[in-house]
């Protein structure tokens, strides 16, 4: 019997491949697919009391989500904050990636390592450093008070949406620099020379040649930053205050203190779909724009 199986195993390449794949496949199913599926199914259930969950399928939780203004507001705010974070990060990092790609001649790698150094320290500690700077007794406030410029700490510095945007933009800068740099570095320099020869100015060359060619990197950076920041949980929790709270904080509360698993699962599913939708729109629009430009 065993020999029979051995024969089949030795003969068929496909079975061999699947046998090699089996551990990975099992892990994917165990760690990835089934939890997601379960969350999806849970979102159609109803929480009856503390411990009990009614498992009849219903769309009630989705109705709950869209009928209570809290949830839609938080969803809108999450998307808005992520949008601003993406915008700020792109605007601040693009010139730098441009500089490293076109102006730095020696030691490009050293520059890249230098730019990504903050990324290697813990993300939480970067958030903490902003709290040290912006806090009520933080460096900015205490310095201004010591100089006698203000009487009371400036309240708007921390625990606001601005603080969340600033902290996130700082934390995700490295993730934007890498794709931007790669796409800019790949550009054939002779194309730029051709553009100059044809009488374009520096700015025109940038706008007509360099920028369209770097669009893949821009799309990559947008997706890399936008998707995780919508679901970000710790930054709004630490520097957001009540005003900067985002949807993930609500989801966490629903699974924790509020103890409404189905509604939490429904919010998670809705968040997932809206993130995917926005990502698709971004990709589609940029592709359209780049087609028109070239």
Partner 1 sequence: MKPQHALNFIFGIYIFIFLTYLFGPLIIMSITAFNSAEFPSITPWECFSWRWFQEGKIAYDGQHLAGLASDWRLHDGLIKSLIIGTGVVILAVPIGMAASIVLTQVHSRLRTIFYSVSIMPVLFPGVIIGISTVVLWDRIATIGGEGFIADIGRNGIFLTILGQTCFISTYCFLIFVARLQRFDQTQEEAALDLGASQTQVFFKILIPYLMPAIASSAVIAFLASFENYNTTVFSILSDQTLTTVIASKVRLGISPAISALALVIIALTLIAAISYEILRRREDRRKKERQDLLLFEQTKDSRLQKNEKKSFKIPKSVFVILFLMVVGIFSFNQLIKNNLYGPACVTAAEEAKKSKFSEQLKLLQQNQVSDDALQEGELGGNQDYGDIFGDPNLFKDFGGFD
List, in order, residues 6 or more apart from 43 with CB less than 8 Å away: 61, 62, 262, 265, 266, 268, 269
Q: Count residues binding partner 1 (CB under 8 A).
A: 77
120 binds partner 1 (CB under 8 A): yes
Burial of 151 (0-12, 13-18, 19+ CB in 10 A): exposed
SS (H, E, C) 157-197: CCCCHHHHHHHHHHHCHHHHHHHHHHHHHCCCHHHHHHHHH
Contact flag: residue 38 with partner 1 (CB under 8 A): yes
The length of the chain in residues reads: 294
Site for partner 1 in 127-146 (CB under 8 A): 127-133, 135, 137-139, 142-143, 145-146
**Would residue 36 be called left, alpha or beta, if left means φ above 0 and alpha means ψ between -120 and 50 degrees?**
alpha
Task: Tell me: does residue 35 bind partner 1 (CB under 8 A).
Answer: yes
Among 66, 99, 207, 284, binds partner 1 (CB under 8 A): 99
227 binds partner 1 (CB under 8 A): yes
Closer to partner 1 by Cβ: residue 116 or 290: 116
Each residue 56-95 as x (binds partner 1 by CB under 8 A) or -, in order, gives: ------------------------------------x--x
φ and ψ at residue 46, rounded to 5 degrees? -130, 135
Residue 279 binds partner 1, judged by CB under 8 A: yes
Applying CB under 8 A, among 124, 194, 198, 280 the residue interacting with partner 1 is 124
Rank residues 1 and 125 by Cβ distance to partner 1 and give the closer one: 125
Mark 254-273 with x for binding to partner 1 (rule: CB under 8 A) and - for no binding: -x-----x--xx--x--xx-
The residue behind tokens 């046998």 is 19
Say how far apart CA 294 and CA 289 lie, in whole Å.
Answer: 9
Is residue 45 close enough to count as binding partner 1 by CB under 8 A?
A: no
Contact flag: residue 251 with partner 1 (CB under 8 A):
yes
Q: Which of 121, 204, 283, 294 binds partner 1 (CB under 8 A)?
A: 121
Q: What is the DSSP letter of 52?
A: -
């Amino acid at each position: 019997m065993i020999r029979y199986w051995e024969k089949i195993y030795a003969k068929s390449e496909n079975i061999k491949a699947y046998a090699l794949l089996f551990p990975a496949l099992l892990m994917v199913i165990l760690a990835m697919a089934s939890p997601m599926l379960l969350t999806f199914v849970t979102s159609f259930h109803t929480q009856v009391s503390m411990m009990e969950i009614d498992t009849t399928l219903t769309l009630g939780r989705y109705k709950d989500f869209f009928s209570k203004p809290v949830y839609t507001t938080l969803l809108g705010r999450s998307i808005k904050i992520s949008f601003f974070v993406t915008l700020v990060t792109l605007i601040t990092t693009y010139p730098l990636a441009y500089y490293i790609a076109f102006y730095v001649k020696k030691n490009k790698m050293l520059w890249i390592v230098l730019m990504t150094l903050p990324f290697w320290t813990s993300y939480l500690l970067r958030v903490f450093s902003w709290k040290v700077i912006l806090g009520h007794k933080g460096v900015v406030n205490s310095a201004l008070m010591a100089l006698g410029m203000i009487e009371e700490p400036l309240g708007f510095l921390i625990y606001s949406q601005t603080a969340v945007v600033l902290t996130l933009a700082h934390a995700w800068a490295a993730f934007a620099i890498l794709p931007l740099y790669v796409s800019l570095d790949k550009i054939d320099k002779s194309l730029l020379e051709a553009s100059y020869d044809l009488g374009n100015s520096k700015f025109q060359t940038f706008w007509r040649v360099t920028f369209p060619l770097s669009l893949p990197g821009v799309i990559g950076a947008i997706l890399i930053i936008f998707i995780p920041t919508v679901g970000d949980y710790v930054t709004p929790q630490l520097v957001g205050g009540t005003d900067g709270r985002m949807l993930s904080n609500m989801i966490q509360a629903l699974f924790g203190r509020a103890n409404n698993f189905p509604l939490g699962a429904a919010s998670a599913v809705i968040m997932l779909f809206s993130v995917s939708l926005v990502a698709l729109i971004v990709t589609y629009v940029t592709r359209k724009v780049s087609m028109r430009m070239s």
